A and B are shown apart, each in its own frame.
Chain A
Amino acid sequence: AQKITQTQPGMFVQEKEAVTLDCTYDTSDPSYGLFWYKQPSSGEMIFLIYQGSYDQQNATEGRYSLNFQKARKSANLVISASQLGDSAMYFCAMREGTSGYSTLTFGKGTMLLVSP
């Protein structure tokens, strides 16, 4: 079974609107971390936001927020006030355990296109 599922291969949004990118995960480990990365066409992976499994509040970083619903095992990324520069591939990832030595498992990604 896939550990990280991103069901939206592509999403379109108009500039200045908000958009939600879906991510569901599967793990039996009580300790885990969820990450979102942005990959523009240049290829670099840019860290956006992190949510720990024990975090009580949803993570926020500027225009990015993570809608963490633990019981549903979902960790959706919300981008508010979309900008043209937000057009990129977005990957959800999970690390089981809390150690930095643990590997990341990535979803297949969602391509976001922001139109003027």
Chain B
Amino acid sequence: GAVVSQHPSRVICKSGTSVKIECRSLDFQATTMFWYRQFPKKSLMLMATSNEGSKATYEQGVEKDKFLINHASLTLSTLTVTSAHPEDSSFYICSASGPLNTDTQYFGPGTRLTVL
């Protein structure tokens, strides 16, 4: 139980395009999901907390208009990197709390974004 998937696992795009990353909780409902960014050989940096049915809560320094988060259902949250630039290239990981909300966060396998 407590499996989180992410799609795509790897994406390469041209500068200026938008990229959507999906995060799904496969066998439990997750009212809260989290989006992290990780640079090579660095720790995870929380970008935002995604709540089902409401607006995401962004961490300081994270551009809301750049990183659009939608949590439309209890099993799906999406992160859209709009007008991507090379500096947005990174490893993006989502996690979901569940299934009991007091449990640990389970992470998806991550998405490696490369912007050319």
Contacts and interface: CB of A to CB of B under 8 A. Distances in A.
Interface of A: 33, 35, 37, 42-47, 50, 91, 95, 98-101, 103-109
B32 A101 contact: yes
Given A42-B109, A44-B107, A100 B93 contact: no
Interface string B24-56: 000000011010001000111010010100000
A100 B95 contact: no
B32 A91 contact: no
B109 A44 contact: yes
B104 interface: yes
- For A100, A104, A108, the residue with the greatest tally of chain B CB atoms inside 10 Å of its CB is A100
A106 B44 contact: yes
Contacts of B95: 45, 104
Interface in B71-111: 91, 93, 95, 97-98, 100-110
B56 to A, nearest CB: 12
B55 to A, nearest CB: 14
Contacts of B31: 101
Interface residues of B, number: 27
B7 interface: no
Contact of A106 (B32, B43, B102, B110): B43
A43 to B, nearest CB: 4
A44 B110 contact: yes
A43 B44 contact: no
A58 B105 CA distance: 20
B80 to A, nearest CB: 21
Nearest to B48: A103
Nearest to B100: A100
A100 B101 contact: yes
